[in-house]
């Protein structure tokens, strides 16, 4: 089956690449729109496809937990696996990340026409460092919880596949609708100043931008690593992040958040490998990104 469609531009015959986005939610829809603008045919697979209406993304209703449904997976040049677990439980994580990805890999490994590359969205939660260490793609990733263990096993399944694959470890994703930290500050809550607990973040639009960038590099024949850490350029202490927000929101913090934060990892994510590919962040720091989120979300106080 021919997975590409031809189109004419300036009298030249070009091949439109097909990208399949598995788990086409918030990030997937932004990515899909940008790939369509770049000339890709984009198929978005998710359980309910009503949200894709009018987006230009071709909808595919699909539940990856249904083995019989895997035959519906279309051939594609690029596959982006960006599923999310529907709850924070081991069974849900295993189904969404490890089992789902393994099923997809088996399906495409058994076909004559395999994808050029599969991108798997992973997480920096695989790291367990707690003392503010600088971490990169070569650092030990030994988080003992089920989420980190299963994410690492899924990454390994991708790397063991004969199909070229790249895992992308995103740090804390924020953006429109992902405003929990802003609301905590509005409630007067703030992280403790000491000991410093480092915070690593990436705007939703940069998540889509990174994936599009890697697809375009692969499309142009440039080699990719099998792993990238994708976090912005400001791994600052969480206290500083929230204090900056409080200043913008004109809120005086009244409560220091304690117990839950003590259990958090504290690390500084190094995005050097990603930057060396030529990627330019749209929101290089939380200041750039959260300023936009606060403005568009109506969080900023009215000027006097």
Tell me the pLDDT tens digit for each residue of 92-105.
999 999 999 999 99
Please tell me the least confidently modeled range out of 3-7, 16-20, 175-179, 203-207.
3-7
Torsion, Cα 26 96 101 117, to 10 degrees, reads: 10
Check pLDDT > 70 for residue 262. Answer: no
Residue 65 — pLDDT band, cuts 50, 70, 90?
Answer: confident
Contacts of 241 (CB under 8 A, 6+ apart): 181, 191, 199, 201, 286
Can you read off the two tokens belonging to residue 94? 């295993």
SS (H, E, C) the chain: CCCCEEEEECCEEEEECEEEEECCCHHHHHHHHHHHHCCCEEEEEECCCHHHCCCCCEEEECCCCCHHHHHHCCCCCEEEECCCCCCCCHHHHHHHHHHHHHHHHHHHHCCCCCCCEEEEEEEHHHCCCCCCEEECCCCCCCCCCHHHHHHHHHHHHHHHCCCCEEEEEECEEEECCECHHHHHHHCCEECCCCCCCECCEEEHHHHHHHHHHHHHHHHCCCCCCCEEEECCCCCCEHHHHHHHHHHHHCCCCCEECCHHHHCCCCEEECCHHHHHCCCCCCCCCHHHHHHHHHHHCCCCCCCC
39: left (phi over 0), alpha (psi -120 to 50) or beta: left
Please tell me the least confidently modeled range out of 64-68, 83-87, 145-149, 161-165.
64-68
Check pLDDT > 50 for residue 250. Answer: yes
Enumerate the β-bridge partners of residue 21: 44, 80
Once rounded to an integer, what is the mean pLDDT over residues 36-51?
Answer: 95
Enumerate the β-bridge partners of residue 173: 202
- Alpha-carbon distance 17 to 19, whole Å? 7
Once rounded to an integer, what is the mean pLDDT over residues 103-127?
Answer: 96
Check pLDDT > 80 for residue 194. Answer: yes
CA proximity to 213, closest of 281, 271, 149: 281
How high is the pLDDT of residue 2? 43
Once rounded to an integer, what is the mean pLDDT over residues 22-34?
Answer: 97
- Alpha-carbon distance 207 to 30, whole Å? 9
Residue 122 — pLDDT band, cuts 50, 70, 90?
Answer: very high
How high is the pLDDT of residue 3? 47
Check pLDDT > 80 for residue 86. Answer: yes
Q: Which residues of 81-117 are buried (b: 16+ CB within 10 A; e: fewer)?
A: bbbebeeeeeebbbbbbbbbbbbbbeebeeeeebbbb
How high is the pLDDT of residue 139? 97
Q: How far is CA 196 from the centre of its chain?
A: 26
How high is the pLDDT of residue 67? 83
Check pLDDT > 80 for residue 13. Answer: no
How high is the pLDDT of residue 287? 96
Domains (range + CATH), the chain = 5-177+201-235+267-284 (3.40.50.720)
Tell me the pLDDT tens digit for each residue of 276-288.
999 999 999 999 9
Q: How far lies 167's CA from each of 13, 129, 226, in Å?
A: 33, 20, 6
How high is the pLDDT of residue 14? 61
Residue 184 — pLDDT band, cuts 50, 70, 90?
Answer: very high
Please tell me the least confidently modeled range out of 6-15, 71-80, 225-234, 246-255.
6-15
pTM of the predicted model as reported, rounded to 2 decimal places: 0.92
Mean pLDDT of all residues belonging to the chain:
92
């Amino acid at each position: 089956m021919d997975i590409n469609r031809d189109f004419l531009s300036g009298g030249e015959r070009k091949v439109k690449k097909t990208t399949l986005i598995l788990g086409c939610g918030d990030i997937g829809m932004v990515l899909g729109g940008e790939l369509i603008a770049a000339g890709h045919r984009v198929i978005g697979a998710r359980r309910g496809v009503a949200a894709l209406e009018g987006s230009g993304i071709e909808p595919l209703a699909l539940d990856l937990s249904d083995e019989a449904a895997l035959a519906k997976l279309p051939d594609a040049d690029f596959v982006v696996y960006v599923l999310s677990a529907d709850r924070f439980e081991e069974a849900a994580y295993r189904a969404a990340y490890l089992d789902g990805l393994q099923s997809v890999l088996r399906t495409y490994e058994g076909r004559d026409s395999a994808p050029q590359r599969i991108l798997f969205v992973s997480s920096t939660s695989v790291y367990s460092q707690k003392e503010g260490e600088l971490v990169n793609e070569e650092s030990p990733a030994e988080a003992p919880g089920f989420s980190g263990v299963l994410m690492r096993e899924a990454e390994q399944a991708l790397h063991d596949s004969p199909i070229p694959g790249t895992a992308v470890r995103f740090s804390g994703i924020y953006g429109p609708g992902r405003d929990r930290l802003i609301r905590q500050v509005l409630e007067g809550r703030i992280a403790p100043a000491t000991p410093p607990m480092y915070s690593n973040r990436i705007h939703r639009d940069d998540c889509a931008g990174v994936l599009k960038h890697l697809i375009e590099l692969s499309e142009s024949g440039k080699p990719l690593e099998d792993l990238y850490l994708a976090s912005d350029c400001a791994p600052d202490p969480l206290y500083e992040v929230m204090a900056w927000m409080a200043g913008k929101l004109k809120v005086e913090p009244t409560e220091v958040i304690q117990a839950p934060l003590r259990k958090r990892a504290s690390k500084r994510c190094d995005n050097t490998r990603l930057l060396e590919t030529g990627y330019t962040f749209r929101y290089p720091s939380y200041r750039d990104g959260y300023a936009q989120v606060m403005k568009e979300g109506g969080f900023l106080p009215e000027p006097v």
